[in-house]
Structure 1
Amino acid sequence: MKFWLVIILATIALPVAFAEKGTFVDQIQFIQYLDENTALEEVRNGNLDMYYFRISSDRLEAEKDRDGIQVFESTGGSYSILVNPSVSEDFNPFSISELRFALNHLVDRNLIVNELIGGYGRTMISNYGIFAADYLTIIDEIESFHFKHNPSFANQIITEELEKAGAEKIDNYWHYDGKQIEITFFIRSDDPVRKAIGEILSSELENVGFKVKKDFGDLNKAFVVVYGSNPADQKWHLYTEGWGSSGFSKYDSVGLAQMYSPWFSNMPGNNDPNYWNYENDYIDSITKKIYTGDFNSAEERSSLIEKATIEGVSESVRIFLASKTDQFVASNDIDGVINALGAGITTRFTPINVVSDSEPLVVGVKQIYQGSWNPIGGFSDTYSNQVWLNLYDPAAFSHPYTGETIPVRTEWQVENFGNQEKILVPNDAITWDIGSQSWKKVGANQEATSKVTFDLILGNWHHEQSMDMNDILHSIYFLLEWGSERHEGDKTYDSVYSPQAAQNAKTLIGIKPIDDDTIEVYVDYWHFDETEIASWVTPWSSMPWELMVSMEQAVIDGKVSFSRSGAVSKSVNWLSLIVPNDAEVIKQYLIDFKQSGYVPPSLQGFQYDWQYFDERYDASIAWIEQNEHAVISNGPFYLDNYSPESRTITINSFDSPGYPFEAGKWKKFEQIKFPKITGIEIPNVVNLKEPTTILVETTDASEIHYFVSNSKGETISSGVKLATDGLSEIIITEVETSKLDVGANTLKIFASSDQILRPDIYGTSFLVVENQTSLPDVPILEVEHKSEESPHAGIILAIIGAVIVGIIVSIRRKRKAKLS
């Protein structure tokens, strides 16, 4: 989400009388449990209150397996294969795009879903899973790829491309320039599913003639070997990726850029200037438009998404395999768990809202520490975010069920007149001037597309200093300074953060502080949903300005790096404020600033005496000395202790009159009604070239989306119908039925709700005949009907198969799938 990209364009809140306690529990202890089976037993035995990692489906199948515990299902995670496309002196077969594309036919997505994750998932072709808000936008493009597990076809493509490149097969193995081609496959051994994916794909690669070297490891090792190394060194060729989520967005502007576009610094090379980097100007241009709102309508945005999706899948540098439905467990002794879409029970809303009679609340996690803790290039892994998001209040966040941007610590008012009209920026608005290292007035005749006025709810930092406009000004300075065009010898540039920040920075025209907690922001950004405009420009900070200044100077001096790739290429630490040694580095800068009377350029020229700066430095120095870490934020909990020896992190409630919200603020998210398809009325047979009607019954749905396709996978009819009193009518016209094929055709229905962006899904095959009104009498070979009443079970999947050999034989099967 956007608020990770810039310190801090997080986003937004409601005015509340300041309270002294924002949580129901006083203390939470996160403790590492690598083995999910052990964690499950600990929950059953009362030693754990929750476990923040999925539990294997076979451990929760029977009713008795669920006795004494709460089970929550959530979608959001996914699996992919990252492919190294680099070109170097040593021949890399995956530098050939057609060969990368062939991997889509070598992987068995259905096996992954049905066997490895026990049916709790869905096959994926692009970064958009079936429950993504934009999935229906690109469903036709996805279907057009027709990917199936077909090793023979994959081998045909691989053979053609390798022979074209000059390789030859000797004794069933591929050789190039007299040397056997060896593929290094980095396989995550700490995740049983990804380990199995790696083993199976390795076997398939060996079957088509590659020698495979397997390199096993966890995320810490992957940060160095895969994400931190120069792709041209070919320390890896393939990597089994896994993706988690802390939330989801109704208008995802980041996903396509993050998963496919080089500019976002998440593709091989990570934009490190010292490394070989994957390049694709075409997809960069498209995803930058999506990211920066460079479109004039929802339809144009959809078109851009379609183009980027096709290019990303076709390039196959990152190959998506499956989305998963995770099952989380919690003790029956706790209440108030919030099961958000995407994040599941690990959402930031759960620890804030959970109620327990015992203290502390004990939460099991898969990993206690796998990546850096810093707000610029850190917090890039799921595990750190599971803790960090409880310590930090963003200005705004995504609604856990609709994905809309909702206010958390600000109110806003948006003014604009459309994408083509402009607003005059006041002369006394200011912007950061890099050349003079000072704030300058924007001057006369400056224009912007949108103006947003923010009333911020500031409160206190964890070290009990008040948040103030200086924190906001410094965060905007940082965005503009580190998001500026790179020049020779530029020390305020990070290969991961800066390209992302630059997209925000170039749209910011000026700001105008109005009073202690009100600021106007003028920006060249437009969106058809004005809450997206507010979220794009929200001025906010996740940490006090004095910490940010100290971190920045430590990076400029070359002692640490904000980003993982920068740390590896420069042979310095990846800055992590939770680590005592790094915290000590930050403390020393604070001491130096205090002793030298340093006022950062971003805060010079404003009316504050030295006592203010001195108190800020003292507060952060004292915090680090007392706590042995430098994690200071503004959320409902603060970091009390991190113990690598015991593999625990302890956080305490921030019981301060400077915290603005009372306990129970997010209680409304506990219960939610999911849309459900309860019945489908479809003719036994559909006559070719004759109109037909399908009736759909639903509950808690506002509309249905339907797609009718023929046996070639071509969509011949689609549309949206309102669910009026739980009933929708689909009419397939005579013209449309004439485009169907005799035999089995397909209907897909998505029932959606305005209140929750997780549709219920029904899929079926229906029979098309010529000049026939009924099915012949044939024995029913198999009938299966399985019902699950859990509101979290989600999707109905009905499969009706039809086989025609001379005469019609019809077999109907209907089931409600385990996963939604």
Structure 2
Amino acid sequence: MRNILQVVVFLTALFAIVLCSSENYAFSQMNKTGGYADQVKFIRFSNENVAYQEVTNGHLDSYFFQIPLHLVESAKKNSNLEVFEKEGLSYGLLINPYNASQTFNPFSIKEIRFAMNFLIDRNFIVNNILKGFSNPIVEPYGPTSPEYHNVIPVVDPLKIHYDLTLATKSIKDSMIKAGAIMDGTGKYTLNGKAVLVKILIRNDDLLRKSFGDFVASEVEKVGFTVVKEYGDLTKANRVVYGSDPADLEWNVYTESYISSSFSRYNPTTVSQMYAPWFGNMPGSQNPVFWQYSNSTIDDLTQKLVFNNFTSEIERNNLLRQAESAGLQEAVRLFFARSFDPYISSSKISGLINDYSAGIANKLSLINAIKNNTDNSTLNIGMKEVYQGAWNNVKGCTDFYCRIIYSLVADTPTISNPYSGDPEPSRNMWTYLFSKGPTDTVIVPSDALTWNPFNQSWDKNKNQSNSALTKVTMTPLFSNWHNGELMDKYDLLYSYYFPFEWSTDTKNNDKTFDAEYSSLIFPTLSLIKGIKFYDNNTFDTYVDLWHYDKKLVPSYGTLWPSEPWEITAATERLVADNKLSYSKSDANIKHIDQLSLNLPVQSELIKRELIKMSNENYVPNPLKGLISLEYALERYKSSIDWINIHHNAVIGNGPYYLETFNPTGGVVTLNAFRDNTYPFKTGIYSDFENPPELRIDRINIPKFLKIGDPYDFDLLLGLNNLSNGSNSFSGIIDHFISDRNNKIVVEGSTVINNISNNHSDSKGQHQLDESGAVTISLNASQTQELIPGPAKIKLIITSTESPKPLIQENTLIARP
């Protein structure tokens, strides 16, 4: 299952009792496990104005969608509300580059795709559509990402900006070269036929629709005949991601997506947005479809994701090259990132405003408390409650599923909400071997890997294998929601699954999903083995290394999100073509995608479990390891669960799925108050206040003499330091651009143990004079400037939180 990815790919890319209004209430929570709330209800409110009123009058505790922008100021003044800002949706375009022989596709021409960067006015989108609650972007990271300073050197030289004249000329030159002419109405034709551009526009809400309509109008202005088609995410999944690009059902899709998780190192963003192997580009890596391919981007991003580098410099160069190639290919374009205002009732405390997810995250919901009330049910409004299949292989790709499911199934690690660094959760890290990029450890002879060709566990018999990393883990087992105790066989099954379902053994392999395989198969060679011990600990051996040791233990994590028997039952259904794990495979076979929460599909799973019980069935990866009695007991417990709850969503998290009613728009989770659950209520309260980096003083001289040394200094501070520390460390990256916007000077200054030992009357720390940081440029660096205005950009991060603080100043370079 997908959790094995955390063994080899950090695609994931997510403690004190919270102060309450009543001491007695706080005392009553001390011996509880899981979240404060006994129940969490997710309720559909498609109309944001209605949701705003429902939170105001106390019927909703929070709304996990942005409120209308014209209500933000009144919300800030409303004593019944708290307003939280989060980095929201990114608005962009996905372009179909298929080069058709019968129907001309103008976007098969790279120069036309790239010209779209200059055709669409980003400032208009920011100011007129998103009403200023956003920033223009030209690449997928944006200025709030810790990776921003790494990609600036390849982004800025492209000088991407709104230039209608440039865009029109570039498009015209390419169209004429392709043989097109412009008729008397100002429209391009080719061989007597109008050149059509089919634009699929998301209309889930007014902002998405307005963005799409604006793009369509601009494309039409330069001479294309535009056909607009509207649809929600469900339609987009079918038309854009689930169809063959060669069918040309679409040319342009006005895409909006949630930014990936905030992380100090984020290779998944550049991979997800540009790399075909990741399965998110036209064709979705389905072998039946035409595929957009780019071996250069694939090679660069796989090196990034699989840590195929030996130093930080090499790693950052790979990132820059991948970003540069993706920008110039222009299959996916970026225009704006919103900063969405979310609201909650002022009666709710404990919400955690994660840097990437805002308050709409797992830790926030677990830590939320309703004050001055006996009602412990959290009522959370959402735009939708169901938009796609719920399964743990290639489902749960939408925001709504991810939020709800995060409470149902735990993960082996959590992401620190302010640094993005992995921290142990259900896997405790007890030993780590990981030295240098060439230092290895021998994989023992009894370490296991699954062989899908002979359907057995292989052992490293001759001890010929070695690995860069060995991690010893202690899993924190608990009861599944159906009452059965988790065990090593659940772990072992989740270890087996990716080998089985991402490897095509040919001969009409029924346990193979091409879309799943595109992402997973490249990781298999890095998995060197697993060894279990009688005390429930296990060692994992992985051929991955990183210069930042904080990341390395997460590569060896292993954790199942559902009992092995549920996975085994769905495997049989998928192999019999009754259901499919992935969307593209479902479309090809004209069957439904597996969704564990749907009563009809849950009934199929239950019937399969009954058949397995009647057959005395034991799955191949567990044969010889478990008793028949144990297997039959597992089947019975899951059958009983489905009979009672009418769903097959059986997790190991702090809440379980009680009811799922998509028609009525309500999903209800109840607290799993089980004494085997390992985490006490209030464990995440330390995350309530984010660290905040400040510039207390900056002294940059207005004039710079070319060829002379140049110094400037600044004074930094950091609020909410953890563990009572009075100092912090970080890095200041500086970039100086000349009047032509060319970066001519760049460098980094490491800051160690900056003093942070004075507080003002509000409790905010202020630096003393000894904490000033000086940045120096030598004469040869300033010699690179040309006379005229220049721009200096500082990107400052701290070790405690790598979220950039950006400062820009203008200075005059003179001879």
TM more than 0.5 = yes
Task: Please state if 1:755 is matched with 2:755.
Answer: no
Task: Please state if 1:318 is matched with 2:326.
Answer: no
Distance, in Å, in 2 between the alignment partners of 1:5 and 1:195 is 35
Question: Deviation string for 1:233-280 (max 9, x for gaps)?
Answer: 111111111122573222223222211111111101101111111111
Distance, in Å, in 1 between the alignment partners of 2:554 and 2:128 is 41
Instruction: Give the aligned partner of residue 805 of structure 1.
Output: none
Question: Deviation string for 1:25-58 (max 9, x for gaps)?
Answer: 1001111111222211211111110111122433
3-state SS of the aligned residue for 2:518?
helix
Task: Please state if 1:615 is matched with 2:642.
Answer: no
Q: How does 1:301-312 map to 2 (within 5 A)?
A: 301-312=315-326
Instruction: Give the aligned partner of residue 421 of structure 2.
Output: 404
Mapped contact 1:137–1:302 kept (Cα < 8 A): yes
CA distance change for structure 1 residues 63 and 76 in 2, over 3 Å: closer, same or farther?
Answer: closer
Distance, in Å, in 1 between the alignment partners of 2:352 and 2:129 is 27
Instruction: Give the aligned partner of residue 98 of structure 1.
Output: 111
Distance, in Å, in 2 between the alignment partners of 1:462 and 1:7 is 25
Task: Please state if 1:713 is matched with 2:741.
Answer: yes
Instruction: Give the aligned partner of residue 119 of structure 1.
Output: 132
Instruction: Give the aligned partner of residue 379 of structure 1.
Output: 396
CA distance change for structure 1 residues 12 and 522 in 2, over 3 Å: closer, same or farther?
Answer: farther
Task: Please state if 1:729 is matched with 2:774.
Answer: yes
CA distance change for structure 1 residues 385 and 457 in 2, over 3 Å: closer, same or farther?
Answer: same
Deviates more, 1:455-464 or 1:18-27: 18-27
Mapped contact 1:677–1:761 kept (Cα < 8 A): no
Instruction: Give the aligned partner of residue 47 of structure 1.
Output: 59
- Shift in Å at residue 641 of structure 1? 0.7
CA distance change for structure 1 residues 66 and 239 in 2, over 3 Å: closer, same or farther?
Answer: farther
Mapped contact 2:259–2:356 kept (Cα < 8 A): yes
Instruction: Give the aligned partner of residue 478 of structure 1.
Output: 497
3-state SS of the aligned residue for 1:510?
strand
The aligned amino acid for 1:672 is P
Distance, in Å, in 1 between the alignment partners of 2:812 and 2:14 is 53
Instruction: Give the aligned partner of residue 21 of structure 2.
Output: none
3-state SS of the aligned residue for 1:750?
strand
Instruction: Give the aligned partner of residue 693 of structure 1.
Output: 711
Mapped contact 1:9–1:537 kept (Cα < 8 A): no
Question: Deviation string for 1:428-460 (max 9, x for gaps)?
Answer: 222212222111221113222221111111111
Distance, in Å, in 1 between the alignment partners of 2:657 and 2:180 is 56
- Shift in Å at residue 529 of structure 1? 2.5
Q: How does 1:490-505 map to 2 (within 5 A)?
A: 490-505=509-524
CA distance change for structure 1 residues 569 and 767 in 2, over 3 Å: closer, same or farther?
Answer: same
Distance, in Å, in 2 between the alignment partners of 1:97 and 1:514 is 55
3-state SS of the aligned residue for 2:73?
coil
CA distance change for structure 1 residues 26 and 353 in 2, over 3 Å: closer, same or farther?
Answer: same
Task: Please state if 1:574 is matched with 2:593.
Answer: yes
Distance, in Å, in 2 between the alignment partners of 1:404 and 1:3 is 17
Mapped contact 2:3–2:561 kept (Cα < 8 A): no
- Shift in Å at residue 486 of structure 1? 5.3
Mapped contact 1:484–1:505 kept (Cα < 8 A): no
Instruction: Give the aligned partner of residue 189 of structure 1.
Output: 203
3-state SS of the aligned residue for 1:515?
coil
- Shift in Å at residue 645 of structure 1? 2.3
- Shift in Å at residue 74 of structure 1? 1.9
Distance, in Å, in 2 between the alignment partners of 1:40 and 1:249 is 31
Which of 436, 439, 456 is matched with 1:438 structurally? 456
Q: How does 1:377-776 map to 2 (within 5 A)?
A: 377-412=394-429, 413-446=431-464, 447-485=466-504, 487-606=506-625, 608-700=626-718, 702-703=729-730, 704-721=732-749, 722=751, 724-725=754-755, 726=767, 727-770=772-815
3-state SS of the aligned residue for 1:254?
helix
Instruction: Give the aligned partner of residue 81 of structure 1.
Output: 93
Task: Please state if 1:70 is matched with 2:98.
Answer: no
Distance, in Å, in 2 between the alignment partners of 1:542 and 1:497 is 17
Distance, in Å, in 1 between the alignment partners of 2:13 and 2:213 is 45
- Shift in Å at residue 405 of structure 1? 0.9
Mapped contact 1:313–1:319 kept (Cα < 8 A): yes
Instruction: Give the aligned partner of residue 134 of structure 1.
Output: 147
Give percent identity, aligned residues only. Answer: 36
Deviates more, 1:147-156 or 1:741-750: 741-750
Distance, in Å, in 2 between the alignment partners of 1:384 and 1:8 is 24
Distance, in Å, in 2 between the alignment partners of 1:530 and 1:202 is 48
Mapped contact 2:13–2:268 kept (Cα < 8 A): no
Instruction: Give the aligned partner of residue 764 of structure 2.
Output: none
The aligned amino acid for 2:420 is G
CA distance change for structure 1 residues 401 and 489 in 2, over 3 Å: closer, same or farther?
Answer: same
- Shift in Å at residue 101 of structure 1? 0.7
- Shift in Å at residue 461 of structure 1? 0.8
Distance, in Å, in 1 between the alignment partners of 2:537 and 2:9 is 16
The aligned amino acid for 1:129 is G
TM-score, normalised relative to structure 2? 0.91
Deviates more, 1:492-501 or 1:401-410: 492-501
Question: Deviation string for 1:594-649 (max 9, x for gaps)?
Answer: 1110000111121x322211111011111111111111110001111111221010
Deviates more, 1:26-35 or 1:683-692: 683-692
Distance, in Å, in 1 between the alignment partners of 2:634 and 2:518 is 31
Distance, in Å, in 1 between the alignment partners of 2:535 and 2:607 is 30
3-state SS of the aligned residue for 2:104?
coil
Mapped contact 2:694–2:717 kept (Cα < 8 A): yes
Question: Deviation string for 1:284-321 (max 9, x for gaps)?
Answer: 11111111111111111111101100111111111111
- Shift in Å at residue 751 of structure 1? 2.6
Task: Please state if 1:34 is matched with 2:46.
Answer: yes
Deviates more, 1:460-469 or 1:235-244: 235-244
- Shift in Å at residue 675 of structure 1? 0.4
Distance, in Å, in 1 between the alignment partners of 2:236 and 2:160 is 28
Distance, in Å, in 1 between the alignment partners of 2:561 and 2:663 is 28
Distance, in Å, in 2 between the alignment partners of 1:4 and 1:642 is 28
Mapped contact 2:796–2:805 kept (Cα < 8 A): yes
The aligned amino acid for 1:277 is Q
- Shift in Å at residue 485 of structure 1? 4.8
Q: Which runs of 4+ in 1 moved over 6 A?
A: 6-14
- Shift in Å at residue 419 of structure 1? 2.0
Instruction: Give the aligned partner of residue 290 of structure 2.
Output: 276
3-state SS of the aligned residue for 1:440?
strand
Distance, in Å, in 2 between the alignment partners of 1:567 and 1:12 is 26
Mapped contact 1:20–1:658 kept (Cα < 8 A): no
3-state SS of the aligned residue for 1:746?
strand
Distance, in Å, in 2 between the alignment partners of 1:414 and 1:429 is 17
3-state SS of the aligned residue for 2:510?
coil
The aligned amino acid for 1:68 is N
Question: Deviation string for 1:710-757 (max 9, x for gaps)?
Answer: 111222223333274442222233333333233321111223222222
- Shift in Å at residue 61 of structure 1? 2.6
Deviates more, 1:257-266 or 1:246-255: 246-255
Deviates more, 1:572-581 or 1:189-198: 189-198
3-state SS of the aligned residue for 2:669?
strand
Distance, in Å, in 1 between the alignment partners of 2:714 and 2:183 is 59
The aligned amino acid for 1:155 is T
How many pairs were matched up? 766
Question: Deviation string for 1:2-25 (max 9, x for gaps)?
Answer: 8485799898999xxx97521111
